[in-house]
Structure formats: C-alpha cells, structure tokens
Structure 1
Amino acid sequence: MNKILPTSTAGSLPKPSWLAQPEQLWSPWKLQDQQLIEGKQDALRLSLHEQQVAGIDIVSDGEQTRQHFVTTFIEHLEGVDFEKRETVRIRDRYDASVPTVVGAVSRPRPVFVEDAKFLRQQTRQPIKWALPGPMTMIDTLYDAHYKSREKLAWEFAKLLNQEARELEAAGVDIIQFDEPAFNVFFDEVNDWGVAALERAIEGLKCETAVHICYGYGIKANTDWKKTLGSEWRQYEESFPKLQRSNIDIISLECHNSKVPIDLVELVRGKKVMVGAIDVASQTVETPEEVASTLRKALQFVDPDKLYPSTNCGMAPLPRDVARDKLHALSAGAAIVRGELSS
C-alpha cells in the first residue's frame, strides 16, 4: 500500500435483507442450497462495491458468507459437536449455550478459501481477511476432550495456520485474527495467548493483524463497558507483549471509547489500525470527528503506519448507517492526509 493512511474495516458489514435478517447477529440464511451459494457471492460483490464507492482502500469480504465471526469457522472443523451443548460464560460477560469439543479437533477441508479466491477475482485492491483468534475460539466452546484451555488453543492455532496459508495462496494480502478475548484474560494472554497467535501466523509472508476490541454494539457488551470506569486500560496488559511479537498490525478501538490514546505508544514500531468509527452507535460520525481521532493517534503512530478503520464489525447496524459511516471514515482520512502532505 503506497497510499498514506489507507482505510479499511475491522470486520463484518451488514448483509442484504434478501440474504439474512438485517440488524442481528446469528441471523439465519433466507436462501438454501445452490441459491444460498449464489446469494452469498452476490452479497460479497455488493459489499465490495459499497466499500469501493465509499473509498475504502483495503477491502474485505464484509463477512457476507458467514453467520458469525467465530462459529462459522468452528462449524467446519471435526471434533466439535454442535448438538451437544453446554452453558458457559463468554468472555466473563454473559452466559451462552455453546457446542462441545468431544474429540481431537481437525480441519478436513478449507473453510473460507473459495470465498477468498472469488473476492480476489473481483478486485485488484489489497484484501484483508479475518479469522477468529485461538483464545477467542476456545472461549466460545465447552471443552470435554482436552480439558485445558491452553492445549485447545494450540490445536486451534495449528488449524488456523493451515487456513491462513491457503488464504495467502489465494491472494489475500492481510490476514487478521480477531481476539476480543485479549481484553479479558490478561494472564493467559501473556502466558500463552500471544504465543498461540504466533503459531497461527507461522510461515506466512503476507501481512498479519490482530484485532482487539470491546465487542459489537450488543447489549451484553455495552453493559460491560459501563462497568469499566472512566479509563479503559485493558490494552496496557497485552500491548507490550504484542509489540515484541511477529504480528505486523495491531487493530484497536479508539473513537467514543475511554481508551487513553497514549496506550498506543506501547506498540510503537507496529502498524496500527485505529478504530475511528463507533460501531455501537447509529449516529454517523462527521469527517471532522474521524480526523480528530486520527490526529490524536498520530501523536503515537508514525503516519506511514496508521491505518484508519472501524472500531469493530458493523453486522448489527442498518445498511445505510454502515454505508454512511464508511464514507465518513474515508472523508476523515482524506482531511488528515491533506494536512500531512501540506
């Protein structure tokens, strides 16, 4: 990417209403069989087009072909029983009924590789693809087999690495691992979480990113945020270790969050995807608000390492709101780009 301040999104974008129920996570598909395959590809094309019209530089699939950022990957693995469910605490925040790990986990076939090849055929722009991180994967399951969070994370890291290598071969330029769990389980992050993430990126030549946020704009997350006080310093726990890791890009939540911006100093030298769009609000940012967030970040990130982005995925938002937010992101980045070049 030669352009300074290249824009991108952190993850999902809303799906069209003919494909899935709008404004909800886990929305069931409205199509079946061959129609579903074609419908997903049409949605992927549409999502790409909307990113391009909005001026997004590093494009993605908008996660149009998956129901959920973690579970869709797990559904394609062996060793996890989706019929056998247990209630577990997700990220120490809310209870959920989850599938059970019943045997050794394996990846019999690629999960997103065909989708990535399809996206690659549609554009020459850089492509970013998101995968769930090992720690966030184990946090959405009941483990009746390994009986060890760390062991299961290492197994998932191996399978993620297989997928990531094939995504790279399909033409993906940046592979992002989503690790919201890094904002919760600090001891595990430092004991083995970052190491498991490095296992997942082993041997990759494309760029790699880790996305650590405070979650979608769903009630369980917004309620949790209200308990975090006037300063959110969770990044302080994981950033020093990530700064020393082999991950190329750190993606974080900035706009409308109570994250002290000087924490970005802790990953000095890394590329930083700065979340300048609030995904927990339907209020569309002004370009100037976006620019203001980026200017603050530039105190701690060199301009050639700053990637303006969204705080998190936008799947639960209305499509027009998400679209307008993407336009605001591009316009805000353009303001700051102009200031830097003058």
Structure 2
Amino acid sequence: MKTNVLGYPRIGEKRELKKANEAFWAGEITQEELFAVAEKIRVHNWTLQKEAGIDLIPSNDFSFYDQVLDFSFSVNAIPERFAPVSGLTELEQYFAIARGYQKNGIDVTASEMTKWFDTNYHYIVPEFTKNQSFSLKTNKPLAEYLLAKKHGFETKPVLLGIITYLLLGKEKETGFHRLELAERLLPVYIQIIESLVAAGAKTIQIDEPYLVLDLPEKAAEAYQKVYGEIRAKFPNTEFILTTYFGALDNNTSLAVSLPFDVLHIDLVRATAQLDNVLKALPKEKKLSLGVVDGRNIWKNNYEHSLSVIQKAQEAIGNERLLIATSSSLLHTPCNLENENNEKVLTPEIKQWLAFAKQKVKELSHLKAIAIGHDLSAEVKAAFEENKKAAENRKTSPLIHDTKVKERVKGITDNDSKRNSEFATRQKVQEEALKLPLFPTTTIGSFPQTQEVRSWRANFKKGTLTEADYDKLLEKEIEESIRWQEQTGIDVLVHGEFERNDMVEYFGELLNGYTFSKFGWVQSYGSRCVKPPIIFGDVSRPEPMTVRWSKFAQSLTKLPVKGMLTGPVTILQWSFVRDDQPRWETCYQIALAIRDEVVDLEKAGIKVIQIDEPAIREGLPLRRNEWKNYFDWAIKAFRISASGVEDQTQIHTHMCYSEFNDMIEAIADMDADVITIECSRSQMELLDVFADFKYPNEIGPGVYDIHSPRVPSEEEIYHLMKKAIAVVPFRNLWVNPDCGLKTRHWEETKLALEAMVKTAQKLREEYKK
C-alpha cells in the first residue's frame, strides 16, 4: 500500500508566489528573483511531503499562473493573435497570454478564463483552429522533475491528459471538432513522456477528470486510441489515470479498460462509486482511493475512511491499493499550524480542521492504521485525537440554532416571488429611476490601494480607532462618488473600500461563520481568496452594509447601488459544513441576505445588486443532477431578492460562465438587470441570450478588468454594436465585466471614461 498526493498548493504558505509575481509584473524584481521564489516554494512542498512519509510525491503541479496555460505553452498551442509578443522572453510571452499586453506599441488582449470544473479556480481556455499544429516549445514537466531530482526528491510527474485538455478548450473556427486534434498532439505528448522516462521517471500521473462528465461523441474512441498508443510506446512505465470531482458512473467500463497501471477515483465527492469500480477493475490493475478531501478543510474522519479502505482491502488486497487525496490539494489552504490567533479561529473549531500539510499527514496515518502492524505511539495518539474531534463536532452547541432551522422550514413559495412580473416592474422602475438609454454603471468595487488596505489592517490591529477608520472611509467614498458624477456614470457605487473580499466580508458579519488568517487559496493567477468557514447555522445578527450605502446615497441625487453577495456565491466560495445538505445552508444564507435587501430598501436605496458569479460553478458535473440543483439554487437567489417593492431594481452579476446550457435558469432568477462577462469572448456569450429571447435587461461587460490594458472607445463601441445586433438596445447597459478592486486608479479612470463616452455616443445614435 502506498500514499499518493495528486498535487500541492503552489502559492506558498504566506502567498509568496503572488507577491513575487506581482513584483515581477511591476518591474520590481528580476526574472531570476522570481524563479528563486518559485524554486523555494517547490522545495518546501517536496520536503514536507517526504518528511510526512508520502510515497508518490507530485512534480509539475506548480505553476506561475495556471496549469492549463502551462500545457498550452509547452506544446506551443499559442493563438496566432499573440504573435506580436513573440519577441519577448518566454516568461513575458506566457504572462501576456494570461493577462494581455499593452506596451511598446503592442496591444493584445488576454485569453479567456473560465472555471475549472465546479471549483472557484479559473483556468486559461485553450483556443484551437482546424489546422492547429503542436510542437515542444518548453518542456516544463521535465524541468520540474529534474529540479526535484537536483534537490534529492524522486517525484511522480503530473501531466494534464490529452483528452481533458482538448475538451476544456474551444474551437475558434467552424468545420471541425477539437477532439480531431488528438492525433496531432499525441507525438508532442509522447516526446514529453520520453524525456521524463529517459530522466528516470518510473511513475507518471495523467489527469483525465473529464471522465466524470458526460462525454461527447467519439470521446471514448479518442481515449482508447491515444492511451493505447502511449502504452505501446512505454510498456515499462507505471501510469496513473487520475479522475476527480465526481463519479465515473457510466464511464467506469471505459476508465478501467484504458491501459493504465493505476486508476484513481474520488471517494469524497462520490463514495458510492467504489463498489462498481471494484467489480469492474481488472486483476492486474491497482486502485488509488481518494479518501482525503482535496476540496474542503474538515479533518478526515479516520473511522469512516478506514471503513472505505477496508472494503477495498478485502476486495483486492493491500498490494494493489494506494491511499490518496481526492484531488489536488490546490483547492485547500497550506498549513493550519500558521493559525495561532485564537480570536480569529478558536481552539474548538480549529480541532475540526485540516489544511494541505495536515491532509498529507492524514494519508500517512491512514496507511499505517490500515496496514495495522506495530503502530507507533504517534499514530495511536493521532487516531484517538481524531475520534475525539469527530465526536466533539457532532455534539458542539456552537453549530445548531433552532430559530434558524425553524425559519428555513417556514419558507413558502411566496417568499421567492416578486410582487409583479418583470414587464410591469420595468415600467415602474423607468419612472422611478429616469435613466438614459445605455445606462452606465460599474460592478461594485473600486481599486483598493495600498493605503486603503493599510487602514483596514491598522484598524484590525487596533492601531487605528473605529472613528478614525470611518472618517478615512467616508473621505474615500465621497471622492469616488464625486469622480463618478464628474465622469458621467449613471448608477453609482460606493466603492466597497471597507471590504476585504466579497464573501469574507459578509462571513465576518454572519453567525455560523469563522475565519482563518492564512487560509488562502488560488482563484486565478496571482489572485488568492481566503474563504470563510461555515461551521454552523447561519443568521444575520444586524445590518451589514446599510451604513455605508446610506452614507454614499446621501452624497448624491444619482442612484447608488447597494452591493451584496448572493447566497449561492457565499455558499460556493466558502468552506461549507459537510454535516447537512448544501441546500439547507444556502437557504439560511438567503434569508440573511433577504433581511439585508429589505433594510437597504427602507434606507432609500433604489438599486440593489446581488452578485451571483458562482451560480454556474455550483452546477453538478452530470446533467441528470442539474434540475435538483437549479430548484434550490435559483430559489435561494429569489428568496434573497423578493422582499422588495416593484420600483426597487434588483441587479445580479455573473462572470466567467458559459450560459448556453442554463439560460432558462438564469431567466428564472428574474433579476431586473444581469451584468455578465463578455469582453474576453468578444460578446459570444450574448448569442444564447438572443436565441432565448431573454426578456430582462442585460449589461454585457465591455472590457476585461483582469488585464491591466486600457480599452479604446473604438473597441468598446465595436463590442456594444455586436451586443445591439443580438439584444434590444433599450435593454442594454454599459459596464465593465467585473469589479475593479484589483486594478489601479489610473487605468480604471481611463477605461471608465472611455466607457462613458461610448455610451454617450450610442445615445446620440439611438435617441428617439
């Protein structure tokens, strides 16, 4: 029996990679200094896994930005539009594909991003053409394997599987299917494997998580052909086929038939699949049991995991078993040992948790207990401590609130319905708000400068009084309101300068939540988030945003949006308790947000935005499970939004989502206005709204805020004309594609000024 880690967080325990990346982008450190930080992180990760007794330690699980982009770059699948940056260094080219580039007369837009399966991690979407060619541009897997070897570590290189890679991409022209490119990509893939085998790699992990989805036509055939050829080429190399985030289900026969030595399955998200896999697994193959959760922060329940392991032991024996993380630990924070502030995370709750380093140790404990020979005192003590923590979590009075549970039970259908249909509400809102054609707004946040962040840090440290902190925030809000008025924006925002993160901020104000100090996980590139932890029943003890929204509205006659995060997104972007159904927790959050919406309306706020960027992300990977999810997720949003009168305009915002397969559900949300990300896809996402004849108002994002480049008026005008071609112009808003928190003021002002001028130009063109 071996222990197997699928991947480890790459940001560093104190976000060292984020800081180094951003310093490199700003020209503050050299490429060599950035590489030194990256090497230090990798050596640290390999060291702690080796010291924990892990048998199969991954390499090539590190990335400067994104592992899918890494693969595209390695095999030279670089879109032709990035040719202008070909004269830059390889690292600069790599970052230009991810972030765009606007220097020295070169202006290229960033690649499209979307969610990695049903996580909050974003990957760079590969772009394919019919005559796509592949070649080995950089051999990153080999470089990382050799780096590990240099430092004394024998590792298991991790490769993204060919079929999953192609299926995660997009065809950028018609007349072919991206799976047809598998035969062209295969020789380059084999070249990479050849180099690894020649360097001494004995085991190679190939990630094919697409096997837990509904496969498109001819995918099974492509899987068999590609991996048949790889096996024939490398008969003596041990290959691990890795699946995660769900069950193989109807793909079980295909997965076990592929010529891999080891099959890995996720038994956290899909415990029930074990029986079917054990029955189907050929006698010569091994099985990797994903029993330690790679997606959440709860301590492993050893007794439960051991019962799963024992079932597999009885079926196929210890020699054919690996004990593993369910997926890469990329989605978990690095190290619980750093959480030493009991005011932030109490000892009682902390004893229920495990971050990546602790999860690695859990694997070693489970292996030792499962084998059962001469258990050390350390392992015996760990087992007893684990049982005590599990029992404490079941019985702790911190978790349960009878009033909250009763309120959820009392929810009726009327709680999820507005007073009138949208057509009626639209007329009432036109009269109440008196907005022009093509109204302009932003998504909510404005740049959080180092100065603003320092105020919040000093306030939390106690070196800045609450009164002084409030005065600083008031001044910042007033300046942003005045600038928006001067620029000509129609529906203003207060800028969210008091907020750290759009979910963490609300978690800090809700009962049933707790927090970590260093519980960062990567969302995309250098963007890290620190998800709050839902450990118990959720309720709102008092208003959360009314004070700042009311203050901002008092400064202007123009409408100022109340800014809230929706219940599904708060759920999705938190570490969620696993002792009750997710829908129940979501309804608890929805009722808390509903109370806030009603209080904002009472305070005179006429426009309220309830952001739901994670609606698509929460969608189950299998289509046959969608209806159940939509039933409770859409209802949760409507519960949060339906306590107001017709004249109060409800907005929602979604970003980096494919809407084609869920447009009816979006319409069922019944938001008066939806703002979406459209710029990176060049308005392609709007086609589905047009085909569906989406009845409500839409704000297609006209520029990409995740890139530092500033769009021109001509560019924004071109995108809006594309939008007007498919959506009635009277239903269109003009806005960026996401919040502006991570941007700098200089680029933000230039971009928004161009946006407003474009809207004014369109008003002249389309006025009565």
Same fold per superposition (TM over 0.5): yes
Alpha-carbon shift at residue 270 of structure 1 (Å): 0.4
Measure the CA separation in 2 of the matches of 1:317 and 1:72.
19
Residue of structure 1 equivalent to 2:452: 19
Q: Kindly indicate whether the alpha-carbon contact (under 8 Å) linking 1:20 and 1:28 is maintained by their aligned counterparts in 2.
A: yes
- SS of 1:273's partner is strand
Residue of structure 1 equivalent to 2:592: 159
Residue of structure 1 equivalent to 2:689: 264
Please list the CA deviations of residues 272-314 of structure 1 after superposition, one character each: whole Å capped at 9, or x if unmatched.
1121121012221111211111111112222221110110011
Matches within 5 A, 1:88-237: 98-144=531-577, 147-186=580-619, 187=626, 190-205=630-645, 206-214=648-656, 234-237=658-661
1:54 matched to 2:487? The reply is yes
Alpha-carbon shift at residue 245 of structure 1 (Å): 3.6
Aligned equivalent of 2:497, options 64, 67, 80? 64
Measure the CA separation in 1 of the matches of 2:693 and 2:480.
31
Aligned equivalent of 1:252, options 642, 663, 676? 676
Q: Which moved more, 1:326-335 or 1:32-41?
A: 32-41
Aligned equivalent of 1:333, options 759, 762, 765? 759
Aligned equivalent of 1:29, options 447, 452, 457? 457
Change (3 A) 1:190 1:85: farther
Please list the CA deviations of residues 201-222 of structure 1 after superposition, one character each: whole Å capped at 9, or x if unmatched.
12212111110002xxxxxxxx
Change (3 A) 1:195 1:127: same
Residue of structure 1 equivalent to 2:40: none
Alpha-carbon shift at residue 95 of structure 1 (Å): 8.9
Structure number with greater CO (CA < 8 Å, separation at least 6) is: 1
Given residue 554 of structure 2, which amino acid in structure 1 is its aligned partner? Q
Change (3 A) 1:146 1:125: farther
RMSD over aligned Cα atoms: 2.5
Measure the CA separation in 1 of the matches of 2:745 and 2:448.
8
1:304 matched to 2:730? The reply is yes
TM-score, normalised to structure 1's length? 0.85
Structure 1 unaligned regions, length at least 5 = 22-26, 215-231
Change (3 A) 1:16 1:50: farther
Higher-Rg structure is 2
Measure the CA separation in 2 of the matches of 1:335 and 1:16.
32
TM-score, normalised to structure 2's length? 0.39
Alpha-carbon shift at residue 189 of structure 1 (Å): 5.4
1:313 matched to 2:746? The reply is no
Alpha-carbon shift at residue 259 of structure 1 (Å): 5.1
Q: Kindly indicate whether the alpha-carbon contact (under 8 Å) linking 2:440 and 2:490 is maintained by their aligned counterparts in 1.
A: yes
**Is the strand fraction higher in 1 or 2?**
1
Change (3 A) 1:267 1:47: farther
Structure 2 unaligned regions, length at least 5 = 1-433, 620-625
- SS of 1:175's partner is strand
Change (3 A) 1:13 1:110: same
Aligned equivalent of 1:293, options 719, 743, 762? 719
Q: Kindly indicate whether the alpha-carbon contact (under 8 Å) linking 1:18 and 1:30 is maintained by their aligned counterparts in 2.
A: no
Change (3 A) 1:236 1:167: same
Change (3 A) 1:267 1:30: farther
Q: Kindly indicate whether the alpha-carbon contact (under 8 Å) linking 2:678 and 2:701 is maintained by their aligned counterparts in 1.
A: yes
Q: Kindly indicate whether the alpha-carbon contact (under 8 Å) linking 1:270 and 1:305 is maintained by their aligned counterparts in 2.
A: yes
Alpha-carbon shift at residue 148 of structure 1 (Å): 2.0
Measure the CA separation in 1 of the matches of 2:762 and 2:559.
21
Alpha-carbon shift at residue 90 of structure 1 (Å): 6.9
Measure the CA separation in 2 of the matches of 1:193 and 1:294.
31
Residue of structure 2 equivalent to 1:228: none
Please list the CA deviations of residues 98-133 of structure 1 after superposition, one character each: whole Å capped at 9, or x if unmatched.
433222211111011111110111011012122111
Structure 1 runs of 4+ with >4 Å offset: 83-91, 94-97
Q: Percent identity?
A: 26
Task: State the aligned residue count.
Answer: 317
**Is the helix fraction higher in 1 or 2?**
2
